[in-house]
């Protein structure tokens, strides 16, 4: 098992940061590269035409390696998940009453484009509601999703894990059912890719879209998206110079080019070269590959397992281990635990988590250890109503 990696970060010992799903801290190395990258623009005469493409191509290659995608040309640089989703929605035609399937309380960036698309064509957004039960909740939720996929389903737009409580969605089974009805599978990997193994070769998504500032440990405002060959003849949501063929030839840019860069290159955001953010995200993903997501899962499981048992003994509901991720899980409170007392105790003890929907979202990483969880559990005990 991996050892604790807190020495690679600047998190003080008195801070118990269990909130990577909100925003990851920078690695020291990533921060250093960021400073160097910012300083680079002090000397613009040292920036060459090659600099507009070199780090971006490296970034696409390491991300393709992380997600087991065969060709890095299927990767695009995006500023946000909503941008990546819009690139897909921009190329879908629906018939009247055609359906787009999403899950209950899904993150809005993977909702609004689908609502707009459905409104445009008089289609429907269908929501797979979370079951109101505890035992077998995750399996039942997945069963509900599969049952809702039918001949009217044109798009299935879901995450790999639910952003509020870490519920795992069975993407292999969903992909199989999607193929039966010829539906697109669009995955928001923001809360999973980097911490949970994901294989494009195995899942075969039509698109996988990820923000960079959470489990990829990159900066805000840069992300990455995989687009399958099926989508790579589509129209991007913006027309910029750098997503056109031969954009590497600066002297020839006014010889306007009708063709795009190969494959997903057409979906790159304008100014994709971002000389500050790109090298930071590149270094971060290189570190994730060195750690390996499967090892991150094992580590976060080991440091949290005792705390989860203790919380369940206090009456809290936490999804069963086989139906959720280890790096992100939700704690649902029983009636005898006062949430306001709990919040005050968290603040007093420098414990950082998120409140999402009806769940307290817990999101550990390699800078955490079992002592963080001991403090966490103690706060629950103190919040029990008399």
- Quick one: pLDDT at residue 251? 87
Residue 157's contacts (CB-CB under 8 Å, 6 or more residues apart) are 85, 100, 101, 102, 106, 110, 111, 114, 186, 188
pLDDT at 41: 94
Q: Give the pLDDT means over successive 10-residue stretches in the chain (386 positions).
A: 96 98 99 97 95 97 99 98 98 97 96 98 97 91 98 98 96 98 99 99 99 99 99 97 92 90 97 97 99 99 98 96 97 93 96 87 98 97 87
Q: Which pLDDT score, from 0 to 100, does residue 193 have?
A: 99
pLDDT at 63: 99
Could you identify the residue written with the tokens 């910029």? 240
Query: Which residue's structure tokens are 């063929």?
Result: 245
Tokens 């000397």 correspond to what residue?
A: 43
Task: Please answer whether residues 222 and 277 qualify as being in contact, where contact means their C-beta atoms are separated by less than 8 angstroms.
Answer: yes
Q: Say if strands 359-362 and 329-331 run parallel, antiparallel, or are unpaired.
A: antiparallel
Partners of 337 in the β-ladder: 384
DSSP 182-217: T-EEEEE-TTTBTTB---HHHH--SEEEEESSSTT-
Residue 358 Rama label (left phi>0; alpha psi -120 to 50; beta): alpha
Domain ranges of the chain: 6-27+292-382, 39-290
CATH architecture group of domain 39-290 = 3-Layer(aba) Sandwich (3.40)
Q: How far apart are CA 224 and CA 129, in angstroms?
A: 29
Residue 357: what pLDDT? 67
The confidence score (pLDDT) of residue 356 equals 76
pLDDT at 52: 95
Q: In the chain, how many H helices and how many E strands?
A: 11, 12
Can you read off the two tokens belonging to residue 30?
A: 């990533």
- The top-level CATH class assigned to 6-27+292-382 is alpha beta
Alpha-carbon distance of 250 to 254, in angstroms, equals: 9
Q: Is 327 exposed, middle or buried (0-12, 13-18, 19+ CB in 10 A)?
A: buried
First vs last Cα of the chain: how many Å apart? 41
């Amino acid at each position: 098992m991996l050892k604790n990696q807190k020495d690679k970060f600047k998190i003080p010992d008195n801070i118990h940061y269990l909130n990577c799903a909100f925003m990851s801290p920078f690695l020291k190395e990533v921060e250093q590269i960021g400073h160097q990258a910012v300083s680079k623009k002090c000397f613009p005469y040292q920036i060459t035409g090659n600099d507009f493409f070199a780090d971006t191509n490296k970034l696409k290659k390491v991300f393709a390696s992380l997600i087991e995608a065969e060709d890095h040309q299927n990767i695009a640089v995006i500023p946000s998940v909503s941008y990546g989703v819009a690139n897909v929605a921009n190329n879908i035609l629906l018939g009247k009453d055609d359906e787009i399937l999403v899950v209950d309380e899904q993150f809005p960036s993977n909702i609004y484009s689908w609502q707009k698309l459905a409104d445009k064509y008089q289609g429907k957004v269908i929501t797979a509601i979370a079951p109101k039960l505890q035992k077998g909740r995750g399996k039942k939720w997945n069963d509900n999703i599969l049952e809702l996929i039918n001949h009217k389903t044109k798009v299935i737009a879901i995450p790999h894990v639910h952003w509020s409580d870490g519920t795992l969605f069975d993407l292999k089974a969903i992909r199989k059912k999607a193929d039966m009805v010829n539906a697109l599978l669009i995955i928001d990997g923001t809360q999973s890719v980097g911490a949970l193994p994901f294989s494009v070769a195995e899942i075969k998504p039509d698109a996988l879209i990820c923000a960079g500032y959470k489990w990829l440990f990159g900066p805000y405002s840069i992300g990455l998206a995989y687009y399958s060959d099926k989508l790579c003849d589509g129209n991007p949501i913006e027309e910029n110079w750098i997503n056109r063929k031969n954009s590497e030839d600066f002297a020839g840019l006014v010889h306007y080019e009708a063709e795009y860069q190969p494959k997903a290159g057409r979906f790159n955001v304008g100014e994709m070269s971002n000389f500050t953010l790109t090298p930071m995200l590149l270094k971060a993903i290189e570190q994730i590959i060195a750690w390996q997501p499967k090892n991150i899962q094992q580590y976060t499981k080991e440091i949290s397992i005792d705390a989860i048992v203790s919380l369940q003994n206090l009456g809290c509901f936490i999804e069963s281990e086989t139906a959720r991720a280890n790096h992100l899980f939700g704690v649902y409170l029983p009636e005898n635990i006062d949430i306001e007392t709990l919040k005050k105790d968290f603040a007093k003890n420098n414990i950082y988590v998120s409140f999402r929907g009806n769940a307290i979202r817990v999101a550990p990483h390699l800078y955490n250890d079992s002592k963080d969880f001991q403090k966490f559990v103690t706060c629950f005990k103190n919040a029990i109503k008399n």
